[in-house]
Amino acid sequence: PDLAGAFKIGYVRLIQFNEPTANELEKALDDLQKQGMQALVLDLRNNPGGLLNSAVDVCAQFLPPSTTVVSTQGRAASQQSDYTTSSTSKQRPRFPMTVLVNEGSASGAEIVAGALKDLNRAILVGETTFGKGSVQNVMQLPDGSALRITTAKYYTPSKQVINAQGVTPNIRVPISAEQERALFSARSSENLKPEEEKILIKTKDTQMMRAIDALKGVMIYAQETAPKADSAKK
């Protein structure tokens, strides 16, 4: 509460994309919504990616069913595919959302960040992502060695290539490598108390604070522009 003022802002950090990730995220979001969550910070910083289907299923927690979140394009027609959220994915309230990214966010993390940004579902905060978005095949050679060939590349919904370009944030908040290492080292401490973590975020995590400020701005604007009930007697 002391980080977000009067607003209830949830926080979820995904460290990778594996088989249980989407289900664990669903349970966490259900719990946060029961606690009255009004907005969310999704932290994908230093997430190296993982399984493609897991990244797509994570997107399904925030986007409508049957929404294309990433596509592949290559020279051959067989390399052109669209990956969409499930037609039966669970619909959630469209709460305001920010996604934290940095140069350590790669592959699946970039797919999620790029989709949520392009589809205007979330505000990206932080630094440009790593830029790992290629489909590669391995060809065995007669002498026993192997050749790895890039056959296609991943594209965000607005057809922006991820590979070597990365996904750029809406709000750029750079921090030095030294600051980042110190921050994540401190936050990973098992003995860190909740109040100590809040102080750490306030004093060291400028990216998190900027994400919270962005969400507060969105919610304040929504309050001020919401239709006022006409209580006058007719």
Active site residues: 107, 118, 132
CA torsion angle 218 220 222 228 (round to 10): 180
- Judging by beta carbons within 10 Å of its beta carbon (0-12, 13-18, 19+), is residue 47 exposed, middle or buried? buried
Helix and strand totals (H; E) in the chain: 6, 9
**Residue 176's closest CA among 206, 146, 220?**
206
Cα–Cα distance list, 37 to 104, 116, 230 (Å): 28, 19, 28
- Compute CA 200 distance to the chain's CA centroid, rounded to the nearest angstrom: 22
CB atoms within 10 A of CB 161: 16
CB 68 within 8 A of CB 83: yes
- Distance, in Å, from the CA atom of 45 to the CA atom of 113, rounded to the nearest integer, reads 11
CB atoms within 10 A of CB 207: 28
φ/ψ of 226, rounded to 5, equals: -65, 140
Helix boundaries (H) for 10-94: 21-34, 52-59
